[in-house]
Structure 1
């Protein structure tokens, strides 16, 4: 028989809720170590403290029930004891007699009546017995193991803790770390002005907090980590500065020197309609889209399964024109992210030439910025396929377009007709990269299309009018007059930003469109525009 051990209830951590004592412990813990901590570090400290308290509580409660039975001790008739070997049940000693075993030292046998009236016999005055080890809280109980608790319940504990910390005015967070406001080092306006001048000389940045500290000569003799945290908070609360580092790295940039397309979404990416879409109607059609279609406005396009190490994306006109890429659930793992920063600066690396240039993750608006010059150097067009994967170093993303010697190929080409409307024609265009044939459109002259984008919503007409107009023009390119929904999606986006969902919903619900099977549709001979 081995000693049973104390344990917590199985649902202890699933039913866990933060108490005032827990928050007081964390506050005092931060005061004591004087080091800002991440939420997971605070959760680990909290769990460790709770486990220590619960162990003490368990042991105290068990001892309060009576004398704990250990074979080495002596007992008297009528004495009450607690028996760990019987799941901590209480018992009463009925009698004591001498034990008989010629192979062992003298010992006694006690007759014990348990609280359910059953009787058992146990050894006493037996010094060499395995059950004499002190009873302690169970190391094998996963509920009393810090790492196991973090592994099984860390996410829910983090969620509860973050909610409490964010509502606590005495604590501040910067770059994902928390610290008591009362211990912060004072960073006055003079130091912030020096930081601005320093970043200005660096053409905006980025610079690490440590680099800024070294050059503005903010005193660091108190506590370097504390001083660094205090400067981070002061910069964060000053609108001139923007924290643009990926998770685990704090980098600062002058907000006024960030590209305009980072501060505000380019006009080509602004979606005006925001129509409600019935997912049950459009999802089956979205699943039939071919190639490398990702749309930052369309969550339903994400495929299930493990994320790919390499992602290919077919460019649509708005992203091609704005020098951007969509940021979706499917490609998010390729790019650096951050806990709080709305904008993250990273480095693109051309997989063929090794050229390096800055890129920006604009998290709030779900796009990647910084590719306009690279697109031009690669001689890309709407429908070009971009391939991405993580770079060899953190904060780098490898990119290539499959650039090759230009050849003349027949490509659907968008033109402006004599009446000012859009016309599609099959013309030979110089192609210098891999193309998605469904999505490809040659744009010989981009200026008249920019004029369309700059026109008012009233001048451009409704989304329904645009869809019907694009269908009518695309139908002229095939003898049957059929229009493929994926090609229509790419065509509509030449003149207005729209995800595929609203377009597909019109195709399956409006009387002017007939579904011919798969992704093919036909426009009614007499469309009713209104």
Structure 2
């Protein structure tokens, strides 16, 4: 095909939206490949098609309805032509006469009048052998290549593609892959009941789709990719099932057999957002906020994964329910997914090699499944836990620096009969390394549980919680002051809160007096 040059307007790809022609192409493309595809694969094919269609459109506009002059063709008076060898000049055939050349045989000569200046020139017609019968495509040097477009705009184009497909009921997605709904294999309630029984026998799961297909008895004469995708979609649309695989891997679990702390956020991890003025936070406070690495702090940038892993300090809410924060520093070590809100994976004890199930709860930003391990290791809030990548995909190693049990003076929380909180420095048996500022021994978890339950029914104002904790903590210090880290750890014994709101309150209220290095004295008389 002879084509004209292609040059798109500058904002062509910034303004990209799925059109009806795009949807028709994607439908045909998926029908041809007979397999669900990721949005990245689809947009690569669609960009190629868009460039082809735009090239054709520009060619048609450039030729203005004229035919491309080829010496082998015959032409009539009044016919419009575009001459490739003359930079695609447009003209009209004004005369046709027989040609004469014994060496060439029969042919015609056409006279063409050009539109730009009225000039007339003659050309041969009806010649089967002529070098101009195969003109090269005219190139302008401005024609974009699909690779160039994707290198610059892929993220934006993928986002717009998915928005368009999500709004179209003819396309369906599972585990980040798309396919036309009409081409799927029928999966009925009987098949789904069999899948439930298989997962039930497996303790809830997780099982891959292929394992379920062995038992579900779907037709195997169909394309296996389509059968697999069809079952995946049917399972996804049935509330009994949960897709819990990491990105690129589909695994199924029975939702009713998932841990309660995975299906519903445990009470100590529930955060009711507190409005505060971040401009009050000093550079020193912001630096500490980043070091504390709370998953609720307003940071999103991830740190690179290293062989040594990341060491974190356990906060009471995570310690109590057996969780880890899915914070910016920790997040890269855990599996993620295209869509699944919950991901099942393997935790490995870095000392013993023992394996046990873990769950990433993506939307609520925590990892669940470590309560038994915390208790066996005799950890406490403030203990240091190291997280690093496992040897195999889907494995995460957790490790603590255990040592011979010894008795240390440790800040200990005591709960009164009225639910009041006090602290005392008491000798406690310690079996693992800990952060001295944030360590708090909890001898009676049930008493603190009762405090959480009572405050869930009747909330205590945030400012009062901070003031009460500051008052009690300063009693343990000869200088009558408390460090921000200590206060943050103590507040979270009874009230889930990231460090930002606490820091802003310390900076704003006159009864908190900064005495240096993020230590504050609590002046009750100023209230």
Same structural fold, with TM-score higher than 0.5 when normalized by the shorter chain: yes
Give the whole-Å Cα distance in 2 for the aligned partners of 1:31 and 1:426.
Answer: 70
Give the whole-Å Cα distance in 2 for the aligned partners of 1:420 and 1:437.
Answer: 25
Q: 1:313 to 1:139 in 2, by over 3 A?
A: farther
Q: 1:132 to 1:515 in 2, by over 3 A?
A: farther
Q: 1:286 to 1:214 in 2, by over 3 A?
A: farther
Alignment of 1:88-237 (within 5 A): 134-136=135-137, 143=144, 145-237=145-237
Where does structure 2 lack aligned partners over 5 or more consecutive residues? 71-79, 93-113, 119-130
On the 8 A contact 1:59/1:137 being kept in 2, the answer is no
Q: 1:447 to 1:137 in 2, by over 3 A?
A: farther
Greater shift, 477-486 or 285-294, is seen at: 285-294
Q: How many residues align?
A: 501
Give the whole-Å Cα distance in 1 for the aligned partners of 2:514 and 2:132.
Answer: 79
For 1:120, the equivalent position in structure 2 comes to: none
On the 8 A contact 2:412/2:424 being kept in 1, the answer is yes
For 1:251, the equivalent position in structure 2 comes to: 251
For 1:99, the equivalent position in structure 2 comes to: none
Q: Does residue 473 in structure 1 map to residue 435 in structure 2?
A: no
The Cα of 1:357 is off from its aligned counterpart by 1.0
For 1:318, the equivalent position in structure 2 comes to: 317
SS in 2 for 1:288: helix
On the 8 A contact 2:390/2:397 being kept in 1, the answer is yes
Give the whole-Å Cα distance in 2 for the aligned partners of 1:469 and 1:219.
Answer: 66
Give the whole-Å Cα distance in 1 for the aligned partners of 2:424 and 2:87.
Answer: 85
Give the whole-Å Cα distance in 1 for the aligned partners of 2:384 and 2:138.
Answer: 60
Q: 1:243 to 1:41 in 2, by over 3 A?
A: same
The Cα of 1:321 is off from its aligned counterpart by 0.3
For 2:336, the equivalent position in structure 1 comes to: 337
For 2:36, the equivalent position in structure 1 comes to: 36
Alignment of 1:45-64 (within 5 A): 45-62=45-62
Deviations 1:401-439 (A, max 9, x none): 222222222222212357753222222222222212221
Give the whole-Å Cα distance in 2 for the aligned partners of 1:500 and 1:425.
Answer: 23
Give the whole-Å Cα distance in 1 for the aligned partners of 2:9 and 2:168.
Answer: 30
Greater shift, 229-238 or 21-30, is seen at: 21-30
On the 8 A contact 1:296/1:366 being kept in 2, the answer is yes
Task: Report the TM-score, using the length of structure 1 for normalisation.
Answer: 0.83
The Cα of 1:478 is off from its aligned counterpart by 1.6
Give the whole-Å Cα distance in 1 for the aligned partners of 2:488 and 2:116.
Answer: 77
SS in 2 for 1:357: strand
Q: 1:437 to 1:51 in 2, by over 3 A?
A: same
Pairwise CA RMSD of aligned residues? 3.9
Give the whole-Å Cα distance in 1 for the aligned partners of 2:251 and 2:470.
Answer: 48
Deviations 1:179-224 (A, max 9, x none): 2222221111111111111101000001111100012222221221
Give the whole-Å Cα distance in 2 for the aligned partners of 1:82 and 1:231.
Answer: 55
Deviations 1:306-364 (A, max 9, x none): 56562222111000001001112332221111111111111111222211111101112
Give the whole-Å Cα distance in 2 for the aligned partners of 1:395 and 1:157.
Answer: 30
The Cα of 1:490 is off from its aligned counterpart by 0.3
On the 8 A contact 2:303/2:329 being kept in 1, the answer is no
Give the whole-Å Cα distance in 1 for the aligned partners of 2:259 and 2:143.
Answer: 51
Q: 1:525 to 1:445 in 2, by over 3 A?
A: same
Q: 1:65 to 1:186 in 2, by over 3 A?
A: closer
Q: Does residue 277 in structure 1 map to residue 276 in structure 2?
A: yes
Q: 1:259 to 1:305 in 2, by over 3 A?
A: closer
Greater shift, 28-37 or 302-311, is seen at: 302-311
The Cα of 1:244 is off from its aligned counterpart by 0.5
The Cα of 1:30 is off from its aligned counterpart by 2.2
Q: 1:142 to 1:56 in 2, by over 3 A?
A: closer
SS in 1 for 2:312: strand
The Cα of 1:452 is off from its aligned counterpart by 1.3
On the 8 A contact 1:142/1:149 being kept in 2, the answer is no
On the 8 A contact 2:315/2:489 being kept in 1, the answer is yes
Alignment of 1:280-319 (within 5 A): 280-282=279-281, 284-289=283-288, 292-300=291-299, 306=304, 310-319=309-318
Task: Report the TM-score, using the length of structure 2 for normalisation.
Answer: 0.83
The Cα of 1:515 is off from its aligned counterpart by 2.4
Q: Does residue 379 in structure 1 map to residue 355 in structure 2?
A: no
Give the whole-Å Cα distance in 1 for the aligned partners of 2:21 and 2:461.
Answer: 59
For 2:109, the equivalent position in structure 1 comes to: none
The Cα of 1:63 is off from its aligned counterpart by 5.0
Give the whole-Å Cα distance in 2 for the aligned partners of 1:69 and 1:239.
Answer: 64
Q: 1:503 to 1:134 in 2, by over 3 A?
A: same
The Cα of 1:480 is off from its aligned counterpart by 1.4
Q: Does residue 388 in structure 1 map to residue 400 in structure 2?
A: no
Give the whole-Å Cα distance in 2 for the aligned partners of 1:142 and 1:409.
Answer: 73
Deviations 1:235-264 (A, max 9, x none): 111111111011111110001100000100
Q: 1:239 to 1:58 in 2, by over 3 A?
A: same
Give the whole-Å Cα distance in 2 for the aligned partners of 1:453 and 1:87.
Answer: 81
